[in-house]
Structures are given as C-alpha cells and as structure tokens.
Amino acid sequence: MLTTTRFSRAQSFLSAVWESGVRLAGGAARRWRRCHAAFVIALLLPGMAPAASADASMPHLAPRHGAIQLIVDGQPFLMRAGELENSSASSLPYLDTLWSKFEAMHFNAVIAPVYWNLIEPQQGRFDFSTVDGLIKGARAHDMRLVLLWFGSWKNSMSSYLPAWVKRDASRYPRARRSDGTPMEILSALDAANVQADSAAFVALMKHLKQTDGEQHTVVMVQVENEVGMIPEARDHGPLADAAFHAPVPQALTDYLSEHRERLAPQLAAAWRAHGFRTGAKWEDTFGAGEQTDELFTAWTEARYTGQVAAAGKAVYPLPMYANAALIRPGKRPGEYPSGGPLPHLFDVWRAAAPAIDFLAPDIYFPNFTEWAEKYALPGRPFLIPETGRVSGAQMAANGLYAYAHLNAMGYSPYAPEFLSPDYAKALGQAYDLIDQLTPLILAHQGSGKMVGMLPRTHFDGSVDLSPQTFVFGDYKVTASFRKPGSASIGAKLDADTSTTHGGLIIQTGPDDFWFAGTGITVYFEPVGKGRSAVGIESIWEGRFINGQWVPGREMNGDDTNQGRHLSLPDDEFSIRRVTLYRYH
C-alpha cells in the first residue's frame, strides 16, 4: 500500500505551488495548505525571524521563496560542515592535521569552538592566537567557519570558565541545588556573571570584526553551547529563589499574551489553567512543580544568552543561534538539560532572547526526522549543527533529506575527525553529491519543486520502510525502500534490504528531474484519470564538473528493470538525470 509521506512544512508561500509545483496526495495536501497559512503568520512574528541585515555585505539570513538561506558575500551559502570534537581547536598543530581530512570529505565549512578560558586567561587580557590560527587554517583550505562560543554554558555545565572566574565563586556565583550545594554552573541570575561573559564575547566579536570584517571567513556564531540545567530543573541559589518568588517578568507575559493563540501546547495549558494570569508569581501563573521550574530556567538562561548575543552583535552583527540538547522519551525536567531551546520552550526563548536569530537541534537520537521537523518551521532558519551516533551512511542520507526537504542552510556531523574510514567515505560521497547539486538545491529550496526521501526511523531504531509518494505536476512519483522482486524469475514480493536509504528529487521542467541518493527504487505513474501511462524517456548517470553536467552511461535494460523504474543503487551516493513522458 502506498503511504503519503509527511511533507516539510517549511515550504514557500511565494512560489504559488498550487499552480505548478509539487502537490501531495490526500491529508498531506491539507497539511500543506495549513502550512502556508502558518508561514504567513511566521513572517509576521517578531523576534527570531531573520531581520534584514543593516549591512548587506555582512553574512546574514534572508528568505528565498520562504526558505531562509545564509547569505555570504552576496550569495546563498549551503554549508557542508562538521563540528570539531570539543578539544580539537585548542591546539593549532593538532588542528593542522585535520584540514586535509575535511577536504577529502568535501566540507566547505567547519563548526569550531572558541574557549573562554583560552582567550581570556587573565581578566581583560585576551589571547586570540587559537582563533587566528583557526581562521588562517580555514582560509588556507577554502572553508568558512561557524564559531561556537564556549562561554558560561557547555552541555549545561560551566567547564570552560577562565580560572579567574572558576576560582572566585563569591564574585561569580554558582547555581545551587535545592539542598544549597553549589554546582559547576554559573548562576544565570547574577549580573557579574553575564557581564564577565558578555565582555569576553564582545572582545571576540571586536577581534573578528578587525581581522575578518572584510573576508568573512566566520559566517555565524553559536552563543553558548547546549544551555540548560541538570540535575535539578532550576537554580535554588538566593538570587534565583528571590526571582522565582517574584512576579513573572512583564516582558515574558506580554510576549505570551501577544502570541497566545500559537503557544506551545504544554505552556498554553499551564497558563490557561491559571486564567492567563499576569503580574503574579511563577507558581501562581503556571502552577507549582518541575514544569514551572523549567520555564523559570528557560527564561533566566535565555535572557542571559540573549544579553551576551546582543552585546556581541552590537559590535559585529553576525547571525547567531542557540543549540539544544534533546530529550529522551519519558524524561522529566531535571533529568535532561532543562530550560534549553527545546520545542516546548521556544516561546520563552523567543521572548527572552530576540538577539538570537534561531534555535537549532543537536540530533543524536535515531528518530532524526521527528526532531528535525520540530525545528524546521515555516519562515524560520534551519541548521543541524550537530548530529551523529548513527552509521556514516545513514548520517549522510539524513543530510540529503535535511537540505532538500527541510530547507536546511547547513548540516554538520559531530567529531568528523574521528569518523571511521567507512563512515568518512560515505559522508564524503554524500557531500560531494551535495556540492555538485548546490546551485540546483539553492535555487529550489522553498520552491515546492524539491523533496527529500527518507524512511522514518523511530527512537528504538526501528525503520518504517513504507513507500513515500510525491506529486510533481502530471507525475506521481513513488520512492520504495524495498528491492523489487525480479520480474524475470516471477518473484512477486519486494524484499527488505539492510542498506541505507535516502535521497532527494528536484523537478526542473515539466518532464525533467534530478534524483540523487542511495538505496531507493522509484516508480512513476500518471496523475489524474484516463488511460494514460508514464514512460521513462531516459535516465543518465553523470557528474557536475565545474557546474556543467557531464553524462556518463545511459542507464537502461537491467538497470531500470527494462524501463519499469529508476534505481539509486545501494552502498553509493549517485545522481541520475531523468526525463519522463506521458502516453495514451
């Protein structure tokens, strides 16, 4: 039985797809229409929708058809990145050993940490040698950088503080557990903490402006890393307790009132249960318990992060984002880094940190699609700054889906320097393919004429191999993740295979398509009634070399099961140029 794939909501209103573009069957079409409505709403949302950059020569975020793209030196830039393992950027000789690996994997960008403790070893005395070396290395290998500000938070801890901050807890107070024990986490409530962090971040941004303001090797900055609170859902230090027992700040309730119809369900329900109160204490506004403790943490830590970002942007306004550690099923606030930029807290983050342009997921769980869809929202920028813990080939296939289906501006497996040769090869093949297709992908993001094909994987690792169907004008296109039984021996059942599946489709003319990916068999049918049928005019393998398509073999005969289907072979990432026709 055919199933209709869930379609990205982040598609274009402006492309007027009803007339000409991809349409989906059944319920997906209704979702699609709702999505367009949601997109219009999103454009009107304040905060975190990308603002037009004051200086268009700066790297900035801009809408194209409704997808949000990163613009670098006037051109959209699709990031094929990897995020350095945490310690790799602390030694330039070590870093120098990595660039050739990244080149072999077809990276055009690296996401790399800047460590507060290394750049400000003494208060007010800065040493940017690691940053300068990083930029020099990236330039020498023709790569751009996204910098990670490892300031007050790194995976919800404060382990990258300079020693002069670490050792002076009376001046730079820590968050406390409910029994009063201090934790190695700066309190988000203390002005000295946010001032010290902001001062260092401002110095970094000033330095970038001075040394990279023309060349724009650094194109974006992540502010802090996986902000959140664990093992309790909130800070119980004296400042935090006082703020928790004071009224909820008006800036938050004003934002929530303004967006009341569109709040995250959990937050809306908690607030509704208390009559949408304003001017009251946290527990009297949202109820007593860990959920409200987490809202408080989200507000205080997002405010802090937003203040740091705003201070940095005031001197050098690169696009800035915050990343989230995701939640395992069944975990409660306090059992995961609570208060981070998670879907149920998006409203609080948007209210608290308008200088943060967008929120991004670190996807390490197998249910990649489910988490990605929560962040790839209409009119919002989408980047996956970290991903991993799946096979290299699956990680690569997930990337194709992110760029094509979810309009990602970038994709970035974590610790690529430690990928096994097999995994590195798969990622390199997929990035090579993305490199070749980049002009087509950028031109079609949000156009409604590009989709991704990816079986949904659940949290327990089980994979839904149901076929996925898309409609492009006159053609219904079905992606099957099973192998067809051979017609020549009369086999009737499609076979499951243990290979990786994933890819993309771009329609460039009424009958003209590009397919790319791995482990997929594609069938074509006519749309509409009548006795017409669809035939394959031609399928070519090939490569784009310097932007020109250079065909290889024409794929036919056994390679198309005598004209019955298109095959994207297992165990490699390949491109196919396909022309279809209708006949009666």
Q: Which are the contacts of 563, defined by CB distance < 8 A and separation ≥ 6?
A: 535, 536, 556
Positions 362 through 391 that interact with ligand DGJ (CB under 6 A): 362, 386
Q: How many residues bind ligand DGJ (CB under 6 A)?
A: 7
Least distance CB 150 / ligand DGJ (angstroms): 8
Work out how close the CB of 35 gets to ligand DGJ at its nearest, in angstroms, rounded to a whole number.
30
How is residue 246 written in tokens?
A: 């004071």
CA distances from 378 to 11, 46, 283, 506 (A): 7, 14, 33, 20
Nearest approach in angstroms of CB 427 to ligand DGJ is 17
Of these, 3, 20, 53, 155, which contacts ligand DGJ (CB under 6 A)?
A: 155
Nearer to ligand DGJ, 69 or 412 (CB): 412
* CA-closest candidate to residue 369, choices 294, 431, 458, 289: 458
Could you write out the DSSP letters of every residue in 290-348? HHHHHHHHHHHHHHHHHHHHHHHHHHS---EEEEEE---TT--TTSS-BTSS-GGGHHH
What are the φ/ψ torsions at residue 325 (nearest 5 degrees)? -80, 130
Strands 512-518 and 574-583: antiparallel
Asked whether position 294 contacts ligand DGJ by CB under 6 A, the answer is no
Q: Which is nearer to ligand DGJ, 387 or 429 (CB)?
A: 387
Query: Which one, 212 or 301, has the nearer CB to ligand DGJ?
Result: 301
Query: Which residues between 404 and 433 bind ligand DGJ (CB under 6 A)?
Result: 414
The answer to whether residue 226 forms part of the interface with ligand DGJ (CB under 6 A) is yes
Instruction: Kindly write out the interface string for residues 74-103 of this chain, putting x where it contacts ligand DGJ by CB under 6 A and - elsewhere.
Output: ------------x-----------------
Residues linked to residue 386 through DSSP beta bridges, in sequence order: 362
Nearer Cβ to ligand DGJ, position 48 or 324? Answer: 324
At 474, the amino acid letter reads D
Question: According to the binding rule CB under 6 A, does residue 222 interact with ligand DGJ?
Answer: no
Residue nearest to ligand DGJ (CB): 226
Nearer to ligand DGJ, 317 or 361 (CB): 361
The residue (of 83 and 232) whose beta carbon lies closer to ligand DGJ is 83
Q: How far is the CB of 147 from ligand DGJ (least distance, A)?
A: 13
Q: What would the x/- binding string for ligand DGJ be over residues 329 to 368, using CB under 6 A?
A: ---------------------------------x------
Choose, by CB under 6 A, the member of 8, 225, 300, 457 that binds ligand DGJ.
225
- Asked if residue 427 lies in contact with residue 105, where contact means CB atoms within 8 angstroms, the answer is yes
- Examine residue 190 and tell whether it contacts ligand DGJ (CB under 6 A): no
- Using CA atoms, how far apart are residues 165 and 171, in angstroms rounded to an integer? 8
Alpha-carbon distance 567 to 555, whole Å?
9
The answer to whether residue 321 forms part of the interface with ligand DGJ (CB under 6 A) is: no
Cα–Cα distance measured from residue 207 to residue 211, given in angstroms and rounded to the nearest whole number:
6
Burial 295-327 (b: 16+ CB within 10 A, else e): bbbbbbbbbbbbbbbbbbbeebbbbbbbbbbbb
Q: Minimum Å distance from CB 323 to ligand DGJ?
A: 6
**Footprint on this chain of ligand DGJ (rule: CB under 6 A):** 86, 155, 225-226, 362, 386, 414
